[in-house]
Chains A and B, each alone.
Chain A
Amino acid sequence: MSSANAAHSVVEPSTASKRVAATLVILYAMITLVPLAWIFLTSIKSPPDSISYPPKLVFTPSLEGYCNLFTTRSRQTPEYIAALPPAEGVCDAVSRERNMVIVGPSNFLPRFANSLIIAFGSTFLAVLLGTLAAYGFSRFRVPLADDLLFFILSTRMMPPIAVAIPIYLMYRQLGLSDTAIGMMLLYTAVNVSLAVWLLKGFIDEIPREYEEAAMIDGYTRLQAFRKVVLPQATTGIAATAIFCLIFAWNEYAFAALLTSGSAQTAPPFIPTIIGEGGQDWPAVAAGTTIFLVPILVFTVLLRKQLLRGITFGAVRK
């Protein structure tokens, strides 16, 4: 082998090919970020700017969208507004320019809170049940294990629209319709199948010898599971949790059909903002922007585990 060849070893890519790869990745990232950037830009436009054609890339930023998202307002005559005491805060001032006065908070915060409670609650339950079930399938001789696993997966095969009506009727009988508990149970049921399948793969990769060693070392099976299996399954658990959370957080169809009032989540709520005062795209965009934050934070916090988890345990030797 000549020294020129040695510089281009199989394991270490050359600087040039690294640059090409990096450029491609950055280009791809930019393309996928365009819609997100557009949503954010719209959220800081004024309503007229948001619907102007051709779209404005240079504009005066406005907090009107965020103000409208968090408040309900009523239209008043200019004379009435002129007679009011000086505006308190930005939102007050912005509203008055449109001949509106703020009459109270909007439903966005309670809906957002519903989303948080239902999505994180169902993710926790799905991962908890999924981990235990996956461990059982992985370690014990379960009768008809393959059929059961297929059955678990098949619960995910029906589109939500197809099962929404039976579930709606069931939930009405059980008093679960439009309740946070009902939505949490529903999302848990849908996500458990994903969690069992993903986690079984991860737990299969953990050699049994670890638990056997722990059991000989004086631990019960449950203690060995907690002390030895769980710490090694964290990667898989984190990855599974993110997948479950993304589903529960973004879910629209069930939420739109099964919730209307107190348990409504943010996805069906956000589009309704547009009706409260013309074409209020900035408020919708502001709601969407805020809606993206929790999933972003959660994913960034768990990104190390997620990246390793995406390889489905392949990094273990």
Chain B
Amino acid sequence: MADVTLKGVTKIFGDKRAVDSLDLSIADGEFVVLLGPTGAGKTTTLRLIAGLEKPDAGSISIAGRDMAGLSPAGRDVAFVFQQYSLYPHLTVYENLAFPLRSPARRMDGATVDARVRQVARMVRIDHKLENRATRLSGGEMQRVAIGRALVRRPAIYLMDEPLSSLDAKLRGELRLELKRIQKELGSTLLYVTHDQIEAMTMADRIGILAEGRLAQIGTPKEIYTNPANLHVAARLGQPHINLLPPELLPGAPVPAGTRTIGARTEHLEIARSGAGNAEVDWIEHLGDQNHLHIRVGGHKLITLADADLPVSPGERISLTLKNPLYFGQDGRRLAG
């Protein structure tokens, strides 16, 4: 395990700056999640660290050693691909043993066997070791793919949306397992996803990527409660944060220069009132909670409400802001 540092790393494809002077440092044993939409440069960042792409500018160092010019095999990283990662002509066992049998780090048979079996138990695939890799369910394949990374003790694990092709239930389970395993091994892990729940639940720190740049990096709590700008605020929160013009809703005095107010569920206070400033448009029942679609003077808001809040569509309510997020002209956050 080791720390990883990126300094001013840039990668250009054609005329697109896929990664744009990215600075990132990952501490030893840290679980960092890069969160961003498709095309934000997440995968490219991983591939640059792994040595599958050459940066056009900047430097990457692992454990203090500059990686420039080093082949992927020489970098001591493990990679979990989004898909296609299992060798289809090999069994599960052979897939797991493949990295350990490589010429770069040849081990004796007994050590390989012990490692493979230990990791197979860890990712709960030990009952299917002799199966062909193609004869597995999606979840099993992903567990093997993660296992194939875990058999090694590399400087850093790089994972590219390893759970995105799975169904929701399995994703939830594997999320927990992955976090448990990472804690158990104390590994350094850089994880890429566009799923905010994965980011929030697993990360020690979340880095928000936008157009190849790191918009903000911090603990999940910091990123959520203290976003640096509109873009970061919009990445997190379910339902999506409501972006409103100032003066639309009553609340504390708005700081000077505010252009947009960001209001999540916890920033909105609802009171039943016949003479209220808002109207309930529609209610979506989620079970334990409801999605409340609200209309305020031409603007639409979505918020969560208790299932037993006694409102119905068409009813007037009064809506008040409670410590919302203020953003200035350039999208930057203003102190409230």
Q: Is B99 touching A217 in the complex (CB atoms < 8 A)?
A: yes
A3 to chain B, nearest CB (A): 32
A232 within 8 A of B: yes
A216-B52 in contact given A228-B87, A231-B89 (Cβ < 8 Å): yes
Which 9 pairs from chain A and chain B are nearest by CB? A218-B102, A218-B104, A217-B99, A209-B84, A215-B72, A231-B89, A207-B84, A216-B72, A216-B79
Interface string of A209-236 (1 = CB under 8 A from B): 1101111111110010001100110000
Interface string of A251-266 (1 = CB under 8 A from B): 0000000000000000
B contact residues around A216 at 8 Å (CB): 50-52, 72-73, 75, 77-79
Dominant secondary structure of chain B at its interface with chain A: loop
What is the CA–CA distance of A135 and B71 in the complex, to the nearest angstrom? Answer: 20
B81 to chain A, nearest CB (A): 5
Interface string of B61-82 (1 = CB under 8 A from A): 0000000000111010111010
Closest residue on chain A to residue B76 by CB atoms: A218
A contact residues around B81 at 8 Å (CB): 209, 212-213
Q: Is B87 touching A215 in the complex (CB atoms < 8 A)?
A: no
B85 within 8 A of A: yes
A contact residues around B104 at 8 Å (CB): 218-219
B83 within 8 A of A: yes
A contact residues around B77 at 8 Å (CB): 216
A219-B73 in contact given A212-B52, A231-B89 (Cβ < 8 Å): yes
What is the CA–CA distance of A228 and B95 in the complex, to the nearest angstrom? Answer: 11
Q: Is A217 touching B85 in the complex (CB atoms < 8 A)?
A: no
Q: Is A213 touching B79 in the complex (CB atoms < 8 A)?
A: yes
B127 within 8 A of A: no
B274 within 8 A of A: no
CB contact between A212 and one of B72, B78, B98, B99 (< 8 Å): that residue: B72
What is the CA–CA distance of A223 and B71 in the complex, to the nearest angstrom? Answer: 13
What is the CA–CA distance of A214 and B52 in the complex, to the nearest angstrom? Answer: 11
Of the four ranges (under 10, 10 to 19, 20 to 34, 35 or more), the interface on chain A belongs to 10 to 19
What is the CA–CA distance of A232 and B79 in the complex, to the nearest angstrom? Answer: 21
B contact residues around A210 at 8 Å (CB): 84-85, 87
A contact residues around B276 at 8 Å (CB): none
Q: How many A-B residue pairs have CB under 8 A?
A: 61
B43 to chain A, nearest CB (A): 11
A73 to chain B, nearest CB (A): 55
A contact residues around B16 at 8 Å (CB): none
A contact residues around B73 at 8 Å (CB): 215-220
14 chain-A/chain-B pairs, Cβ below 8 angstroms: A209-B84, A210-B85, A212-B72, A212-B81, A215-B73, A216-B52, A216-B77, A216-B79, A217-B73, A218-B105, A219-B73, A220-B103, A227-B98, A232-B89
What is the CA–CA distance of A213 and B105 in the complex, to the nearest angstrom? Answer: 15
A contact residues around B152 at 8 Å (CB): 217
A213-B103 in contact given A219-B73, A220-B71 (Cβ < 8 Å): no
What is the CA–CA distance of A232 and B105 in the complex, to the nearest angstrom? Answer: 24
Q: Is B103 touching A223 in the complex (CB atoms < 8 A)?
A: yes
Most buried by B among A207, A210, A215, A218: A218
B198 to chain A, nearest CB (A): 21
11 additional A-B residue pairs with CB within 8 Å, beyond A214-B102, A219-B102: A209-B81, A210-B87, A212-B52, A213-B85, A215-B71, A216-B73, A217-B152, A218-B104, A219-B104, A220-B103, A232-B89
A contact residues around B148 at 8 Å (CB): 213, 217
A contact residues around B71 at 8 Å (CB): 215, 220
Q: Is A209 touching B85 in the complex (CB atoms < 8 A)?
A: yes
B88 within 8 A of A: yes
B contact residues around A228 at 8 Å (CB): 87
B contact residues around A217 at 8 Å (CB): 73, 78, 98-99, 102, 148, 152
Which parts of B153-207 form the interface with A (CB within 8 Å)? none
B159 to chain A, nearest CB (A): 12
B contact residues around A207 at 8 Å (CB): 84
Q: Is A218 touching B99 in the complex (CB atoms < 8 A)?
A: yes
What is the CA–CA distance of A144 and B88 in the complex, to the nearest angstrom? Answer: 33
B277 to chain A, nearest CB (A): 54
A236 to chain B, nearest CB (A): 13
A268 to chain B, nearest CB (A): 42
Q: Is A209 touching B83 in the complex (CB atoms < 8 A)?
A: yes
Closest residue on chain B to residue A221 by CB atoms: B71
A205 to chain B, nearest CB (A): 12
Closest residue on chain B to residue A234 by CB atoms: B89
A contact residues around B99 at 8 Å (CB): 217-218
What is the CA–CA distance of A209 and B89 in the complex, to the nearest angstrom? Answer: 14
B contact residues around A214 at 8 Å (CB): 87, 98, 102
Closest residue on chain B to residue A223 by CB atoms: B103
What is the CA–CA distance of A28 and B103 in the complex, to the nearest angstrom? Answer: 53
Interface string of A186-220 (1 = CB under 8 A from B): 00000000000000000000010110111111111
B contact residues around A232 at 8 Å (CB): 88-89
What is the CA–CA distance of A216 and B156 in the complex, to the nearest angstrom? Answer: 12
